[in-house]
Structure 1
Amino acid sequence: MSARSEMVAGWLEPRAGEMVDFLGRLVAEPTENPPGTGLGRCARVLADQLQRLGLEPELIEITGPHTLEDPHIVRGSTGAGAKLLYFHGHYDVVPVQDRAQFAMRREGGRLIGRGTADMKGGIVSMVYGAAAAKELGLLGDGRIVIHLVPDEETGSVVGAGYLREHGLIDPSAVAMVTGEPSGSSIWNAARGAISLKVGFEGREAHVGQATFGINTFAHMVYVARPLLAYAEEMAGRPTGYPMNPADPTGSMVVVGGLSGGGSNFNVVPADAWFTVDSRFNPEEDLDAELARMTTIIREAAAEVDAKVTIDITQFQPPAGTPADHPAGAALARCAEEVRGEPAAFEMCGGILENRWYDQLGIPAFAFGAGRLDVSHGPHEYVDERELFRVAAVYALYANEMLDQP
């Protein structure tokens, strides 16, 4: 371990209990999204902790059309130099399988509870990494800005999108990193997303007069069939980006993740709908794929004279920074300095808020202590020791990017 790493570890280790306590308080805030509740209260918990650590918090109320409960962006900062490094995270979580998941527990070196991996644990690492860099004088001629947002789990347009829309992301930043659950890897790329809701309009009829009705369920099934074939085709088109060997390399399309319609079991359904959700590899042209899906739906509907509507509920581009970019190489060096082994670069199988920064030309990465394979599950956890190690990586990365020639 280098002298610099020892200095950072020496600052973090006495605060290990404090970090665990902070994570426990965040987990206890039930920021489930959907529906997006408890966000304002959690934002204030975050702001209070940043204040205690001297990270100059600001609460930004998110205005405009949305259905979230009291959403705020928590914006912290430290340093006053010209170089700018962003730490970014989200404090909303997916719904729990059991309300007990909002009470964090320690077990065998693991911190278990909703959001420990995705990504309240990542927030703790980022915040304490920034505080360590500040207290140890590692910022040089630079500054860190921390963005903590809601709404990542439901598209991120309200949260991170607000930052972009209101000019709160400076394109001159040297890099951005987020504490998403990348495990021991660095995610330097992520897929893009298109989500659709496909609806059908028919005519009700009593089961005894079913031939008088127009059955939208039949139309839905007919239209879904060629979409399933399309999903199979896309799964067979692998990405050129390195991925976790356990993950599928093709673009992923889920047809019918949600569906509904009808008024009763004995009535011909006059309405029906289903969703299509996709994660496209960076090599794919999202506009072209949206056009393909739309054509498939409309042509199949025309074959059975179905009245169909297509609502685009999400359209988010992929993100990717080359693994050999100097900002990525610096992050890999810091990870190896702390962990003693190289960090592999991989593409995330989902979408990341890196894209809001990537679109402005900012090198953007994800690196966090959690693991994707346990995130969102009933036994979500983060390794306690990794929480501290990743905080050290963040502190070293700030020094590498802001205080080195």
Structure 2
Amino acid sequence: MDQQDVVSLASDLISIPSVNPPGDLEKITTYVINYLKDHGLSAETYEAESGWPNIVAKLGDPSGGPTLILNGHTDVVPANAEQWEWDPFAGTVEDGMIQGRGASDMKGGLAGIIYAMGKLAEADVELSGAVVLAIVPDEESGGKYGTEWLVESGHLPDADAALVAEPSSADTITTGQKGSLWLTVESQGSPTHGSLAPFHGESAILPLTQLAQELQSLSGEPVDQSDLIADSVRAHSKDGIVDAFGVKEATQALDHTTINVGTIEGGSKVNVVPETASMSIDIRIPIGRTVDETLAAVEDAIDTVDGGLTYEIQKASEPNFTAHDDELVQTLQASAGEVFDKQPDPRLMWASSDARYFRNQGIPTVQYGPAETEGIHSIDEQVSVQELTGMAAVYLEFIQRFMGE
């Protein structure tokens, strides 16, 4: 493989701002389509809504063997250039690192899978099956117009496996993730002059603060995952959290429900008892517990609070995972071992990614992409040239192994 081609591709992708919001993706979409065309691949675009293009390119024949999806997203989170040491959208290469917004999340991984597809097409490699490149627009805002829609729309063929090139690092394959339940809780009070509280009037804010305290009990007990997740996977996953955050207590996020009260809004001014208030809550659900079980616990907590609280679900997804001994995982481990002389460990995520949309359809899915964790969604994001080019080589090896070549 040509390492410089991969580096140039990643640098070019980073240099095209594709910030979401607002989601101006026309230029990067055109670039990707032209790159694929130059390497012998035609691509189709599909939009759930105007301005949110999904790119699909296919190689091989699904009737001849398994179908593998390679998935990545073009959008990145915003970057405040004043805080950065370098231009967030320069895509510069310095001291063995490619610098810029999206370098790790996830234009590095995106470059790797695009390069691999182009290389296989250019070499006219005969595959016993089909590889489908699915490049989506809005992972950073939840996937409503991207992977979620694309998987459900019928624009992708039935697949036997999927690889999402989201950041994981070369020594880690992400095989599962927590579920989520995002809620908005609203409260109605009775306004009066603030000087009379708490003897007259009813504050809409106080019941929400009481609920916030009640909800902390959801994180009290760990979920027994012993029948679902191998001990080795759980151990490696906890090691990964310590490596990322340096806080041993944070390892509990893997098998405990986590609750974050993100916002509380209400009231009109300091000397008026608040008439209305709302609270947004981010609950992450460990493997071994369901959305319905979690929602029932939330409702029980609401019932303990006086104040006539109501709630609305903003989004919900079940915990999901692919077994560590699945053929997909083992094939990727063997492929990475050929390139890096060490097989990566399967681990679980404490957050979520587009992998859940494939797993929800019963498609075994792994997440594997180059990463420098410190800069993801932060300042001075970058990715290692060595890891990027190595993982691009892994993608080439993996595709051919999975297709039985």
Which has the higher mean CA deviation after the structures are superposed, 23-32 or 317-326? 23-32
Post-superposition offset of 1:207: 2.9
Partner of 1:56: 42
**Cα deviation 1:267-322 (Å, max 9, x = unaligned):** 3222222221122222112211111112212x133xx3x13221111111222111
Instruction: Point out the more displaced range, 121-130 or 69-78.
Output: 69-78
SS in 1 for 2:105: coil
Structure-2 separation of matches of 1:161 and 1:376: 22
Measure how far apart 1:362 and its partner are: 1.9
Identity %: 26
- Measured at CA, do residues 159 and 230 of structure 1 come closer, stay the same or move farther in structure 2, by a change above 3 Å? same
Give the 5 Å matches for 1:1-400.
11-13=1-3, 16=4, 18-33=5-20, 35-63=21-49, 70-82=51-63, 83=65, 84-98=67-81, 100-171=87-158, 173-183=159-169, 184-208=171-195, 210=197, 212-231=200-219, 233-234=220-221, 236-237=222-223, 239-240=225-226, 241=229, 242=233, 243-247=237-241, 248=251, 249-297=254-302, 299-301=303-305, 304=306, 306-400=307-401
**Equivalent residue number for residue 248 of structure 2:** none
Q: Distance in 1 between matches of 2:31 and 2:299?
A: 44
Which of 279-288 and 391-400 deviates more? Answer: 279-288
Task: Give the TM-score normalised by the residue count of structure 1.
Answer: 0.86
Unaligned segments of structure 2, at least 5 residues:
242-250
Distance in 1 (CA, whole Å) between partners of 2:176 and 2:31 is 31
Deviation at 1:208, TM superposition (A): 4.1
SS in 1 for 2:369: coil
- Distance (whole Å) between structure 1 residues aligned to residue 380 and residue 255 of structure 2: 28
Q: Which moved more, 1:334-343 or 1:221-230?
A: 221-230
Q: Conserved in 1, the CA contact under 8 Å of 2:40 and 2:122?
A: no
Q: Distance in 2 between matches of 1:360 and 1:238?
A: 25
Secondary structure (helix, strand or coil) at the match of 2:258 reads: strand
Q: Secondary structure at the match of 2:2?
A: helix
Q: How far off its partner does 1:380 sit? A: 2.0
SS at match of 1:101: coil
Distance 1:368 1:357 in 2: 17
Aligned residue pairs: how many?
A: 378
Deviation at 1:81, TM superposition (A): 4.9
> Contact (CA 8 Å) 2:215, 2:259: kept in 1 or not?
no
Say if 1:208 and 1:178 are closer, same or farther in 2 by CA, change over 3 A: same
CA contact (8 A) 1:81 1:140 kept: no
Equivalent residues of 1:129, 1:393 under 8 A apart: no
Query: How many Å separate the matches in 1 of 2:257 and 2:105?
Result: 21
Give, in whole Å, the separation in 2 of the partners of 1:237 and 1:336: 33
Q: CA RMSD in A?
A: 2.2
The letter for the 2-side match of 1:348 is M
TM-score, scaled to structure 2 = 0.86
Letter in 2 for 1:73: N
User: Where does structure 1 lack aligned partners over 5 or more consecutive residues?
Assistant: 1-10, 64-68
Partners of 2:345 and 2:126 in 1: how far apart?
Answer: 26
1:140-194 CA-partner distances (Å, limit 9, x unpaired): 22221111112222222321111122123333x2321011111121111121111
